[in-house]
Structure 1
Amino acid sequence: MALFIIFVLLFLSKEATGATFTFINRCDFTVWPGILASSGSAILDSTGFELTKGSSRSFQAPTGWSGRFWGRTGCNFDEAGHGSCATGDCGSGEMECNGAGATPPATLAEFTLGSGTQDFYDVSLVDGYNLPMFVEVSGGSGECARTGCAADLNRRCPAELRADSGYACKSACEAFGSPEYCCRGEYNTPAACKPSMYSQMFKSACPKSYSYAYDDATSTFTCTGADYTITFCPNVPSLKSSNGDPNAKGTGTIETEPNPEPMQTAALASSWLANLATGDSTRTHLPSPLQSAFVMAVSLLFPFLWL
């Protein structure tokens, strides 16, 4: 009986304290994580901070907290903390994001703690991609699966999705703004908004991450009473760059893992569509209007090809 009471007290104590989030930087350069709490959620101890190569930092979040995390790169802040970042910038003009979210493209980790006793979490590429990121769970009960995107999508990014800096990959919604890609207007339901070729490319590389707005079935995970570790560049060394700067140019190299679903490109070696499907980032020209129309048609027909 005494052991049962102790167990109940420990469980209630964990429910009351929420979860601990630990951020780890395994990149070969500094990352500046950003934190955005949802409306009505408590503000954590920081909304943006510096995380040097190999370092970690933890935060406590109460039950009921919800929000998102992301990594900023190529940042330049002065001693007073004023500055900006090349990717994932929150637009606050400071290291602290102060209630502002990430400017796309950015890889996002999203959490809702203690919703009906369960935590819900995911890693999302809906707003694009800038860094490899993984979420791992410690303690807790239930499914509690690890999730994230360890692939280097910047190397696979088609030219039409590539950010101006070259160190981030836009979503099709961000790049083109059309309702079909953004799941808006008449496409704002799961039945109407289907995965595009671009989101399929993201999903192929990162099967557990959100690739478009209605990618819930394989991308949302649950756990109860757990703590979470968010790791940037989980495969060491997943990214290397000159002088620890992901935006530097010089002798630095970027290492990437092989595509988990190799395409059959022999017969289509010179095909524009093959280049798109494999994420060939060597293309320097945008698709013609006819090619864009073709991609849209294939995207809309894609779900029916499996029937």
Structure 2
Amino acid sequence: MSKTNSLSAMRRSPSLSRLLLAAIPLLCLIQTVSAYHMNPFFERNANPLPRPARWGPPMKRDSIPLVISNNCAETIWPAIGTQAGTGAGTGGFELSPGNSKSLTVSGDWQGRVWGRTNCSFNVAGNGASNLNGVDGSGAACVTGDCAGVLSCVLTGRTPITLAEFDLAGGTGGEQTFYDISLVDGYNLPMQVIYIPGNNPKLKNIPPNLTNAACIATAGLMSAPAGSGTSGNATTTANPLPYESRQDSKSIASWCPWDLQVKQPTKPGDGVYPYPDDNIQRPIFDPCLSACAKNNLPKDCCTGSYNDAKKCKPGLYSRNAKAVCPDVYSFAFDDQTSTFVIPTGGGWEVKFCPEGRSTNIINTFKSQLGALGQSGLTKAIEDAAANMTIIEEGAKKSGAERVRGEPAMGRGSLGALVVVVAWAVLC
């Protein structure tokens, strides 16, 4: 059929036109809906008991504290997603610098928390404002947007730094699983801080065993050190083991060039070669994962690559692990990124925390294994205060940062058309 005839057919068929127009918003949501990749450790060790997802908040007798804190210099819009159990009764809100919001979730809650940046909502919070230049339609946030609404019901658009929780994991629901995930990209520094509860197995738990952080933004990381204290995340008696190899220069350029959301202009484009690593990047430099950008089986460990022997970490994952050793960086990285402790207590998710990225799992691997199974013991407490163990942990930081490899794979022409259409329409 010719182009003219195709257009004529659309004019003669209002229902077809309406159908195609209705599909446009769905195209805009494709990235949002498909963005989230859950840690497979959570699935393999899932609580078999039914836990229907409820909006919340929970009854007081079944409530667990969930505190969201903004230590960034700018306003952010945290978002919360619930997969099981009872959520906080909100899917997102505005949070100005230096402020925290105290919420509660149920003891069997499974969900995630992320941050959105540079948002502009309408008064009702159900769409973007006219200030975003798209007449109140499309995304309301530069990163983490969830269909343009303030209170999210969908996962945020990549790239997003995610805190993932299952507060009642394991066969009997007696273990808490959590991680900081960069599988869907990185937008904001984040720390997860344990709030002690009533579980005797976790009484006086050393904070340097639980309070993981990922700081991969230039200018927000402290100077290289093997250990240190980070705000309310730890104490001088139990300093956090830090990633100690990265400096401000490597942090500024860890994201593979073609995975930056907005690549800086190369001064030599079209004239002479210009090395990517010598180009000044913005401080706020959101980074897509290879999976989030390419959606290829080899990057996402899907299809024939759904096998730990075949799907290996790519450049993005290796770099992410180098700057943030405790993060979940690709599908089969769950064994070196999942924290497991007995249930009980609450959680704080802090954006733009003080200090450096942590290296807890490499430092206290055996102690964390024992903690997850049996709770706190004197031997674990002693190890968490042992400066020799902590400083040695700094030498076990993630792999050295790798440069120079292209991160973007080849895609089909059809995929290119979809990407271009998404960019134009959304």
- TM-score between the two structures when normalised by the length of structure 2: 0.51
Q: 2:267 matched to 1:202?
A: no
Q: 2:151 matched to 1:86?
A: no
Report if aligned partners of 1:19, 1:61 keep a CA contact under 8 Å in 2: yes
Report if aligned partners of 2:65, 2:347 keep a CA contact under 8 Å in 1: yes
Q: 2:248 matched to 1:129?
A: no
The residue aligned with 1:74 is: 118
The residue aligned with 1:249 is: none
The CA distance in 1 between the partners of 2:71 and 2:90, in whole Å, is 21
The residue aligned with 1:213 is: 331
User: Secondary structure, in 3 states, of the residue corresponding to 1:199?
Assistant: helix
The residue aligned with 1:254 is: none
Instruction: State how 1:1-307 maps to structure 2 within 5 Å.
Output: 17-38=62-83, 40-81=84-125, 82-83=127-128, 84-91=140-147, 93-97=148-152, 99-115=153-169, 116-140=173-197, 141=201, 145-152=210-217, 155-164=253-262, 167-223=285-341, 224-235=343-354, 274-276=403-405
Report if aligned partners of 1:106, 1:131 keep a CA contact under 8 Å in 2: yes
Report if aligned partners of 1:203, 1:209 keep a CA contact under 8 Å in 2: yes
Report if aligned partners of 1:138, 1:227 keep a CA contact under 8 Å in 2: yes
The CA distance in 1 between the partners of 2:167 and 2:109, in whole Å, is 5
Report if aligned partners of 2:75, 2:96 keep a CA contact under 8 Å in 1: yes
- TM-score between the two structures when normalised by the length of structure 1: 0.69
Report if aligned partners of 1:130, 1:167 keep a CA contact under 8 Å in 2: yes
Report if aligned partners of 1:73, 1:87 keep a CA contact under 8 Å in 2: yes
RMSD over aligned Cα atoms = 2.8
Structure 1 161/136 Cα, relative in aligned 2: closer, same or farther at 3 Å? same
Q: 1:221-267: per-residue Cα shift (whole Å, max 9, x none)? A: 123211111000002799xxxxxxxxxxxxxxxxxxxxx77959xxx
The residue aligned with 1:269 is: none
Q: 1:83-130: per-residue Cα shift (whole Å, max 9, x none)? A: 210001011x22111x21111110000111122211111110000000
Identity value in percent: 40
The CA distance in 1 between the partners of 2:86 and 2:180, in whole Å, is 21
The CA distance in 2 between the partners of 1:172 and 1:147, in whole Å, is 24
Shift of 1:192: 2.2
Give the partner amino acid of 1:96: S
Give the partner amino acid of 2:260: R
The CA distance in 1 between the partners of 2:106 and 2:82, in whole Å, is 12
Mind listing any 5+ residue stretches in structure 1 that lack a counterpart? 1-14, 239-259, 265-272, 277-285, 291-307
Q: 1:156-196: per-residue Cα shift (whole Å, max 9, x none)? A: 32221111387310001122222111101111122222111
Give the partner amino acid of 1:42: T
Report if aligned partners of 1:104, 1:174 keep a CA contact under 8 Å in 2: yes
Q: 1:41-62: per-residue Cα shift (whole Å, max 9, x none)? A: 3232210100100000011111
Structure 1 117/230 Cα, relative in aligned 2: closer, same or farther at 3 Å? same
User: Secondary structure, in 3 states, of the residue corresponding to 1:57?
Assistant: strand
More helix, by proportion: 2
Structure 1 36/137 Cα, relative in aligned 2: closer, same or farther at 3 Å? same
